[in-house]
Structure 1
Amino acid sequence: MKATIYVIIILILVSCSSVKMTDTWVDKELIISKPKKVLVVGLTDNLTARKIFEEQLKTKLKNRGIEAIESYNVFKPTFTSLKQTEEDIQNEIVKLTNDGFDAILISAVKGVDEKESYSGDKYIVDYYWRGFGLYYFLYQDVYLTEGYYEKYKVYHIESSLYNLKTKDEKSLVWVASYDLVDPKKINSSVSKYVKAIINALEKEQIIPNKL
């Protein structure tokens, strides 16, 4: 019965977009200084997804008393479309600190996996299939009918918060990895991802709760 319940949960997860944190780390010493002005960066070549992500996260941070600005309003278009040297990036960081930014929250897609799920409508949740004949009768469509297995994608995304005010190289405050499952609609998928980030930052007391 446990195996049956486990499979049902998997089917629910892949039937619609979902976000799951897979790993996280936080520097307890650096979170003493709460961020006041944050640059929000979505590192992706999908400009629509980037804008939606940055705007939604900016709004959530502002609702918690934190000034936040989207990177597409700060960086020149060539900064994200062309490969930058370490010197270029350091020069940009200096500009950001001079403009009052004390933190950067950046998200990047680290990889994409293609998965396959069972999508039949005859899944039995009890032991009626104890006999081979009935079992075979009920599940023969699994290989006879096209579409019983559905492909979907899992995006592995990493979000990191950096403190720009530190005087050494140890500026990473928080990092978390997420699996974004089957993001068919950009708006709803991004909303779930942004909510997951905010929940994690609040849980670690890096940002205050909503005002």
Structure 2
Amino acid sequence: MKVLYYTLTLLLLASCSTARMTDTWTNKEYTNYQPKKVLIVGLTENLTARQIFEEQLKNELADRGIVAVESYTVFKPSFTNLKQTQEAIEQEISRVSKQGFDAILISAVKGVDEKETYSGDRYRTDYYWRRFGRYYYLHQDVYLVEGYYNKYKVYHIEASLYNLKEDSDKSLVWVASYNIVDPKQISTTVTNYVTAIIKSLEQEELIRKK
């Protein structure tokens, strides 16, 4: 029963795919800074996830009085489908700046870790296994139960806010890192991630609260 309980708990936590912030930094030179028109960029090969992310973040920013636009409606397919030179990227930035954008909020996956846990009774804090027989009894399922070990992934994602009105050395306004554990459903995962970003931006007073 305990094995089943802990297994169900692990699955519940994974299905929630909560985005947990692990690190953040804000440029102190941007006191009282709040963007007015933001280009949202979801840097991912998963086009569905990109569209959902950009649309949800756009809606959240709009609810706070900020004009926000999805990059998939601004960038030409040729820009995202092909590797661009730094010069070409700077030209694209100049183009969107002329359209009135004063900031870019970009999100990208920085890495993925493969993790492994097991569904055994590993949460005991007493020392019932001081005797070999007890220890073996508690852990023998590794031989007998298929799926005894559970593999999952942890995605390390970074979100950054850049001021397009400043030169490149001072344009980074805010950056935060998040961990997302074993995402299952795109919509739920993106919703939790967008919520975490909005909460971070509100805490840093880069956007007003709803």
TM-score (norm 2): 0.87
Read off the aligned partner of 1:37 and give its amino acid letter.
Answer: K
State how far apart, in whole Å, the 2-side matches of 1:33 and 1:14 are: 36
List per-residue Cα deviations over 1:155-194 (Å, max 9, x = no partner).
Answer: 1111100001114531000011111110111111111111
Query: Structure 1's 107 and 168: CA in aligned 2 closer, same or farther, altered over 3 A?
Result: closer
The 3-state SS of whatever aligns with 1:30 is coil
Question: Are 1:162 and 2:165 counterparts?
Answer: no
Size of the aligned set, in residue pairs, is 202
Question: Are 1:87 and 2:87 counterparts?
Answer: yes
State how far apart, in whole Å, the 1-side matches of 2:10 and 2:135 are: 20
State how far apart, in whole Å, the 1-side matches of 2:12 and 2:175 are: 24
TM-score (norm 1): 0.87
Query: Structure 1's 150 and 69: CA in aligned 2 closer, same or farther, altered over 3 A?
Result: same
List per-residue Cα deviations over 1:69-117 (Å, max 9, x = no partner).
Answer: 0000000011111111122111111111111111000001111111111
- Unmatched tracts of structure 2, length 5 or more: 1-5
Q: How many percent identity over aligned positions?
A: 62
State how far apart, in whole Å, the 2-side matches of 1:119 and 1:92 are: 50
State how far apart, in whole Å, the 2-side matches of 1:73 and 1:141 are: 53
Check whether the contact 2:106–2:159 (CA below 8 A) recurs between aligned residues. Answer: yes
Tell me the residue number matched to 2:189.
Answer: 189
1:139 shift after superposition? 2.5
- Unmatched tracts of structure 1, length 5 or more: 1-6
State how far apart, in whole Å, the 1-side matches of 2:162 and 2:139 are: 52
State how far apart, in whole Å, the 2-side matches of 1:205 and 1:32 are: 8
Tell me the residue number matched to 1:3.
Answer: none
